[in-house]
Amino acid sequence: MCGFAGFIDRPNRIADPASVMTSMSAAIHHRGPDGEGRSFDESRRIALVHRRLAIQDPSDAGAQPMRSASERFELVYNGEIYDFLELRAELETLGHRFHGGSDTEVLLACFDAWGIEETLRRVDGMFAFAVVDRQEGRLTLARDQAGQKPLLLAVAGECIAFASDLRALEVLPDPFASQLSGINQDAFRWYLANGAVPWPFSIRPGVEHIPPGGLFEIDLESGRIARRRWWTPPTEFPEETDERFTSEDAAKQVLDALRTSVHRQCRSDRPIGIFLSAGIDSRIVAALASEVRPGLPAFTLGLPGPFDETGDAAMVAARLGLDHRIVRPSEEAVLETARQLHSVADAPFADSSLLATVLLSRAARPEIAVALGGDGGDELFGGYRRHLAATDPRGFKPRLARRLAAIGALLPDSISGKIKVGRGTLRDASYRMQNTQLGHEGYLRLRGTQGDAADLFEPGPIAARGRSRRNPWDGLAPEWNGVRSMMSADFRTYLPDDPLVKVDRGTMSCGMEYRSPMLGRDVISTAWSLGTDRLFDARGGRAPVRAALRSLGLSDRGAKRGFAVPLSGWLRGPLREWAESLVLRDFEDPVDQTAIREDWQRLQSGRSDLAARLWTIVCWRAWLTSRD
């Protein structure tokens, strides 16, 4: 895993390319502490910058930018190609010869043999890359199908820039500097609702996120950009499965795909471990990893009260023979890490589990350089409670749920937000039940209960720049058809916007690579191929994953907490003074300061349900302050 950046300066506007490349490299140093490489094509005014976190073949033979054997392609790349050994063996039968042991060299040989787009369909990996095709006079930017690795694009007149991190674009001189000033209004409103900025938006105007499965081709002569996708999620889903394909068959198919994915992702020339939680996805990854990496180091975050999952994780670790470490952060560590979160993510990001990810990553980094985790299983196999709420064999919601939604709709938010229903409030339950049938836009707005601050937006000069004609739900199935559309929307939007941002930024902040075997190529295709009736059973979603886990001799029971943290307690405790300095201070930003102050006092008086809403403001203002 690494970071890269670059630019195309066709009109020769950048006076000192070397200095600009140095600044871009410094901005992404945290993504690649093991080395730096750069190249500049004077005739075409193309700059490529790379920062390396050396995982496969740490020698200089794996350094980037790297050219293919034919000299046709030059590549900077972030990620891993997990099946590079199989691809290398196939290429050797075609006559290709290799000088090192890196997956980068294999990827370039694939381009020589099959071309870029065919290679993308063949490889199993996580990636974002920029590759110059000298023969065709084209620069291609591409991203993996799940969006595990970030890639941003900025266009300023005839100049184009790209990077793994927004900060590498923010250091650019004019014409980019004036283009990137200010805040994108659409992006900020989405941030307040969801706690994260969804692609294709960026918090900076003039910048866009290349979508998961995106393939952008830039003509080096004209500067024209062809925006398309090499992969899109299916738009039709099987509901019922041929009765000859049993639940046991589905479990075996899923287990086979997962085993291949986990075993491939255990390949590393650097020490590897696992982030072990109480969830079933984490368990099955740990079980399959221990088949090829016995005694694997496993790290679990220990937090107080109901957020603690160390007991369940310890039992799994003992059963598998893992070298288990429990990380219990002090209040001082929590405060220090929270103060630094604005430098972890390159844009405002309010998922509080990022704090847990950074705490765990920093504790594990002295021992490992690669961590495995269970991200992606919920989106692919129906693991969220909202998925289960949307499934019913007769096609309607339970009577109680309908009544809750109706009652919540009649009450003002100030009242329904105080009535507890399960783990949330009546307001949240009502929002969810009302929006599950409203299509993609309604469903994305449903998730606004996470950021929970959309009503605090007040238009102002800082948010006056930036509008977008595209939407986060572009590319999804045109017709909303229940739970599979919901799962597809989660995979297409929520997963790359939130969980994958969290683990990428959190681990990369301390020079660690994070891998998600649940997002292996064959696991994704297997999940999409299964009928809805094979994903859900009487106990809920992820039925084939749970069955596969039982076949390995492990329990499929246990509470999943998803790296949740005691946010309300921390905002009333170790984080109070720091957060208060951001919440109560007058900022020239487009939010309702009076409402924020009132909510802060309510939180301090015991209104724990306001914690996520206020954390959204805290993270925004911490990021904004860091940019002053």
Please answer whether residues 66 and 36 qualify as being in contact, where contact means their C-beta atoms are separated by less than 8 angstroms: no
Kindly give the pairing relationship between strand 138-143 and strand 214-219. Answer: antiparallel
DSSP annotation string for 367-415: T-SEEE--TTHHHHHT-SHHHHHT--TTSS--HHHHHHHHHHHHS-HHH
- Alpha-carbon radius of gyration of the chain: 24
Q: Can the peptide bond before residue 205 be classed as cis, meaning omega within 30 degrees of 0?
A: no
Q: What is the pLDDT confidence band of residue 506, given thresholds at 50, 70 and 90?
A: very high
Please answer whether residues 260 and 506 qualify as being in contact, where contact means their C-beta atoms are separated by less than 8 angstroms: no
CA dist 440 and 344 (Å) reads 30
Over 70: is that where the pLDDT of 449 sits?
Answer: no
* Predicted local distance difference test score (pLDDT) of residue 420: 46
Q: Can the peptide bond before residue 150 be classed as cis, meaning omega within 30 degrees of 0?
A: no
Tell me which H or E stretch contains 320.
Answer: helix 310-320
The region that residue 482 occupies, defined by phi over 0 for left and psi between -120 and 50 for alpha, beta otherwise, is: left
**Tokens encoding 291:** 């088949």
List beta partners, residue 298.
274, 324
* Predicted local distance difference test score (pLDDT) of residue 193: 87
Structurally, at CATH architecture level, domain 247-380+499-551 sits in 3-Layer(aba) Sandwich (3.40)
CATH superfamily for 2-229 is Aminohydrolase, N-terminal nucleophile (Ntn) domain (3.60.20.10)
Over 70: is that where the pLDDT of 458 sits?
Answer: no
What's the CA angle centered on 393, arms 387 and 399, to 5 degrees?
75
Question: Smallest Cα–Cα separation from 548: which of 248, 321, 313?
Answer: 248
Which of 214-218, 403-407, 533-537, 612-616 shows the lowest per-residue confidence on average (mean pLDDT)? 403-407
Which of 395-399, 425-429, 604-608 shows the lowest per-residue confidence on average (mean pLDDT)? 395-399
Please write the tens of the pLDDT for every residue from 329-371.
Answer: 998 999 999 999 999 999 999 999 999 999 999 999 999 999 9
* Predicted local distance difference test score (pLDDT) of residue 240: 72
pTM of the predicted structure, to 2 decimals: 0.89
- In angstroms, the Cα distances linking 476 to 230, 405, 481, 602 are 14, 26, 11, 40
Please answer whether residues 533 and 541 qualify as being in contact, where contact means their C-beta atoms are separated by less than 8 angstroms: no
Please write the tens of the pLDDT for every residue from 264-322.
Answer: 999 999 999 999 998 999 999 999 999 999 999 999 999 887 778 899 999 999 999 99
The SS3 assignment for 495 reads helix
Average pLDDT over residues 490-508: 94
Over 60: is that where the pLDDT of 460 sits?
Answer: no
Average pLDDT over residues 212-236: 92
Q: Can the peptide bond before residue 566 be classed as cis, meaning omega within 30 degrees of 0?
A: no
Please answer whether residues 389 and 401 qualify as being in contact, where contact means their C-beta atoms are separated by less than 8 angstroms: yes
Over 50: is that where the pLDDT of 7 sits?
Answer: yes
Number of H helices, E strands in the chain: 29, 19
Average pLDDT over residues 385-412: 55
* Predicted local distance difference test score (pLDDT) of residue 406: 52
Over 90: is that where the pLDDT of 208 sits?
Answer: yes
Kindly give the pairing relationship between strand 513-515 and strand 370-372. Answer: parallel
DSSP annotation string for 501-542: HHHHHHHHTTT-EEE-GGG-HHHHHHHHHS-HHHH-BTTBS-
Q: What is the pLDDT confidence band of residue 464, given thresholds at 50, 70 and 90?
A: very low
* Predicted local distance difference test score (pLDDT) of residue 294: 96
Please answer whether residues 35 and 13 qualify as being in contact, where contact means their C-beta atoms are separated by less than 8 angstroms: no
Mean pLDDT of the chain: 87
* Predicted local distance difference test score (pLDDT) of residue 471: 65
Phi and psi of 477, rounded to 5°?
A: -55, 135
Please write the tens of the pLDDT for every residue from 538-581.
Answer: 888 999 999 999 999 998 887 666 667 889 899 999 999 999 99
Number of other residues whose CB lies within 10 A of the CB of residue 248:
11
The DSSP output letter for 62 is G
Q: Is the dihedral of CA 469, 435, 444, 476 positive or negative?
A: negative
Over 90: is that where the pLDDT of 326 sits?
Answer: yes
* Predicted local distance difference test score (pLDDT) of residue 397: 47
* Predicted local distance difference test score (pLDDT) of residue 466: 47
* Predicted local distance difference test score (pLDDT) of residue 276: 96
* Predicted local distance difference test score (pLDDT) of residue 125: 97
- Proportion of the chain above pLDDT 70, given as a percent: 85
* Predicted local distance difference test score (pLDDT) of residue 58: 86
Average pLDDT over residues 468-481: 62
Domain ranges of the chain: 2-229, 247-380+499-551, 566-628
Please write the tens of the pLDDT for every residue from 400-430.
Answer: 455 555 554 444 444 444 454 444 554 555 5
CA max distance for the chain: 71
Kindly give the pairing relationship between strand 152-156 and strand 138-143. Answer: unpaired
Please write the tens of the pLDDT for every residue from 93-130.
Answer: 999 999 999 999 999 999 999 999 999 999 999 999 99
CA dist 31 and 27 (Å) reads 9
End-to-end CA distance of the chain: 30
**Tokens encoding 414:** 């100030």
Which of 140-144, 216-220, 477-481 shows the lowest per-residue confidence on average (mean pLDDT)? 477-481
CA dist 113 and 96 (Å) reads 9
